[in-house]
Amino acid sequence: MKQLLNTLFVNQDTAYLALDGENIIVLKDDEVLARFPLHNFEQITTFGYVGASPALMRKCAENNIALTFMSPSGRFMARVIGAMNGNVLLRKAQYRLSDDEMSASLEIGKNFIAGKIYNAKWVISRTCRDNALRVNVEALQNVTAQLDGYLQKTMNAASLDEIRGLEGKAAVAYFSVFDTMILNQKEQFFFTERNKRPPLDNMNCLLSFIYSLLANDVGSALEGVGLDSYVGFLHRDRPGRASLALDMMEELRPILADRIALTLVNRRQVKATGFVKKENGAVLMTDDMRKVILAAWHEHKEETIMHPFLEEKVKWGLVPHVQALLLARYIRGDLDGYPPFLWK
């Protein structure tokens, strides 16, 4: 259990939530694991299938406390809210900001991409620090210097198109040294350029799969706080596209997706035998390899870190949920700006 930003996260997947007076109690096999005053919270998010008592759901509805149910893996399932809950106001504010491309969307878009460039630079710098004798440090440092320049230009950008252009240039620079950060299994896992739909090599196939996992987690986190994951700021509206999820996952790609992909390859946790090349050149992943990656993904989400903005310890798996909460607070006017996740 973890309390963050007036939200209670219950990550015991076999826990049952119940009401005792004015308190929420967390039960496991009839044993009380924790007790919290209900008035402390605006939202309760539980990761599991056991559920909550009708009495607690009614009390939450009466007090405008959103009760969100996620699967143990973080997939959004349902949200119980009262008739007078302010989600409609939050979404209307989101829609207004999204329509304002020259000001509000621009400022939010800057922060999403600034976070992405900053974290990409961190991944490269971490490689230099940990593997100085195995990589071309000078080449990597040249790219981090380029990323510094793109970061400054992003914060001074005057339009969404300019931000997109800078993000594209930063991505080209970052991926130009991605192959350098692959230290083992170089013949089977190499990187020349980013390709997708379909991926044409093992590394791109691995990246695409992990990006899809991240997108699902971010989308669920946004829905969990009451935002519309299909209405974005940088990615504009397109039928069937979760534009806001794509927006928010930008800042998390380098540290939550790219870094895991590199770790899996460098530690030899994935093997070339788990990938199959089809006649049309597309590379597909076997079911057994998906299971290996999913296990590693969920294991990583259990690791605890210090959130750089909140300065509180959280699990990696809660980072998308915390960022979604921060974005919702900014949209409601509780924060002066959206603070992207800047890993240190």
Question: Which phi and psi angles does 102 have, rounded to 5°?
Answer: -85, -15
pLDDT for residue 49 is more than 90 = no
Confidence band of 28 (pLDDT split at 50, 70, 90) = confident
Same domain, 172 and 24: no
Residue type, 299: E
Judgement on whether residues 118 and 186 belong to the same structural domain of the protein: yes
- For residue 100, which phi and psi values (nearest 5 degrees)? -90, 85
State which of 57, 85, 113 marks the end of a domain: 85
* In a shared domain, residues 115 and 28: no
User: 66 vs 288, which has greater pLDDT?
Assistant: 288
Residues 72 and 107 in one domain: no
- List pLDDT tens digits, range 54-81: 999 989 888 888 888 888 877 788 888 7
Looking at residue 160, which CATH number applies to its domain?
Answer: 1.20.120.920
- 102-110: average pLDDT: 95
* Residue at a domain's end among 49, 65, 85: 85
Do the domain assignments include residue 344?
A: no
Same domain, 46 and 106: no
Q: Higher-confidence residue: 103 or 50? A: 103
* Distance (Å, whole) CA 192 – CA 315: 33
CATH code, domain carrying 17: 3.100.10.20
- Report if residue 142 sits inside a domain: yes
Within a domain: residue 340? Answer: no
Q: Is residue 250 part of a domain?
A: yes
The reply to whether 22 falls in a domain is yes
Into how many domains does the chain fold? 2
**Edge-to-edge strand list for the sheet holding 16-20:** 16-20, 23-28, 31-37
Q: Give the residue among 337, 170, 156 at the shortest CA–CA distance from 250.
A: 170
Which pLDDT score is estimated for 274?
95
Coil, helix or strand for 32? strand
Residue 85 pLDDT level (bands cut at 50, 70, 90): low
What is the average per-residue pLDDT within 87-107?
Answer: 92
Nearest residue to 254 (alpha-carbon basis) of 324, 184, 335, 151:
151
Question: Using CA atoms, how far apart are residues 243 and 249, in angstroms rounded to an integer?
Answer: 10
- Residue 88, pLDDT score: 82
> Which pLDDT does position 84 carry in this prediction?
53
pLDDT digits (tens, 9 = 90+) for 173-191: 999 999 999 999 999 999 9
Residue 11 lies in a domain: yes
Estimate to the nearest angstrom the gap between the alpha carbon of 330 and the chain centroid.
17
The pLDDT mean for the chain works out to 92
Looking at the structure, do residues 78 and 197 belong to the same domain, yes or no? no
- At 89 the pLDDT is 86
Task: Indicate the angle between helix axes 104-130 and 137-155, nearest 10 degrees.
Answer: 170
> With contact defined as beta carbons under 8 Å apart, do 343 and 306 qualify?
no
Instruction: Give a yes or no: residue 137 inside a domain.
Output: yes
Same-domain pairing of 51 and 163:
no
Are residue 309 and residue 289 in the same domain, yes or no? yes
Q: What is the three-class DSSP state of 25?
A: strand
Does 60 lie in the same domain as 134?
A: no
Classify 70 as helix, strand or coil.
strand
Is pLDDT above 80 for 3? no
Give yes or no: residues 166 and 300 share one domain: yes
Q: For 11-27, write each residue's pLDDT tens digit.
A: 887 889 999 999 999 99
| Domain finish residue from 64, 85, 106 | 85
Q: Give the pLDDT mean for 153-165.
A: 96
User: Cβ distance 306 to 313 under 8 Å?
Assistant: yes
Residue 54 and residue 150 share a domain? no
Q: Angle at the Cα of 120 (from 7 to 289), degrees rounded to 5?
A: 80
What tokens does 83 get?
């008739």
Domain that holds residue 220: 91-332
Prediction pTM value: 0.85
Q: Is residue 338 a part of any domain in this protein? A: no
Shared-domain flag, residues 100 and 76: no
Question: In the predicted model, what is the mean pLDDT of residues 276-293?
Answer: 92
How much is the average pLDDT of 218-243?
Answer: 92
CB 221 within 8 A of CB 320: yes
Q: Return d(Cα 331, Cα 323) in angstroms, integer.
A: 12
Distances in Å between the Cα of 18 and the Cα atoms of 38, 61, 72, 203 are 11, 14, 19, 46
Query: What are 287's two structure tokens?
Result: 């079911």
pLDDT level of residue 83 (50, 70, 90 thresholds): low
Q: How confident is the model over 290-302, as a mean pLDDT?
A: 92
